[in-house]
């Protein structure tokens, strides 16, 4: 996995999500707050296992615990990002976000972002039309529920 690309993606998600969340928090409707906070929290939630996997695979092989300093940094950062996902959802509820908007936005991003990141950052990752259809059906099901 491309570690530099992973860190860049993490910084972009955190930066863009923070700006969008700050803008929506002050002037947004309940639905806009739910959508923004849900998308940002879902992105953080999707990055949590992604960062764990990248951290554990540093050093040439997959291990239960990382074997390099960079691996430990990514692994520890995944817990921070996971906690941030929890914190953002709770903050959204405090700002009166509707759960019927926040939860589907969270789940769609949680499912979709890791696949997008693998397409961009994992050499040789096979993305087929069936993958796109499957993810689309999952997201449709989440929204319809």
Show pLDDT as tens, one digit a residue, over the chain (145 residues).
778 888 898 999 999 999 999 999 888 899 999 999 999 999 999 999 889 988 888 866 777 888 888 889 999 999 999 999 999 999 999 999 999 999 999 999 999 999 998 888 888 888 899 999 999 999 999 888 8
**Per the structure block, which two tokens stand in for 134?**
């499957």
**Per the structure block, which two tokens stand in for 30?**
């309940």
- C-alpha torsion angle, residues 40, 42, 47, 53 (rounded to 10): 180
Is the whole-model pTM more than 0.85?
yes
CA 78, CA 94: separation in Å to the nearest integer? 24
DSSP single-letter state for residue 124: T
Q: 37, 38, 20: which is closest to 107 by C-alpha? A: 38
Give the dihedral sign, CA 114/121/57/133. positive
């Amino acid at each position: 996995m491309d570690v530099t690309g992973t860190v860049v993606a993490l910084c972009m998600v955190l930066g863009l999500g923070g700006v969008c969340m700050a803008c929506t928090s002050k002037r947004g409707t309940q639905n806009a707050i739910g959508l923004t906070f849900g998308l940002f929290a879902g992105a953080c939630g999707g990055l949590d296992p992604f960062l764990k996997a990248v951290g554990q695979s540093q050093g040439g092989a997959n291990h239960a615990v990382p074997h390099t300093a960079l691996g430990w940094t990514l692994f520890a950062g995944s817990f921070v990002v996971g906690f941030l996902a929890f914190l953002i959802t709770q903050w959204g509820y405090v700002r009166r976000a509707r759960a019927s908007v926040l939860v589907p936005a969270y789940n769609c991003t949680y499912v979709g972002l890791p696949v997008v990141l693998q397409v961009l950052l994992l050499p040789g990752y096979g993305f087929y039309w069936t993958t796109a259809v499957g993810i689309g059906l999952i997201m449709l099901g989440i929204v319809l529920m």
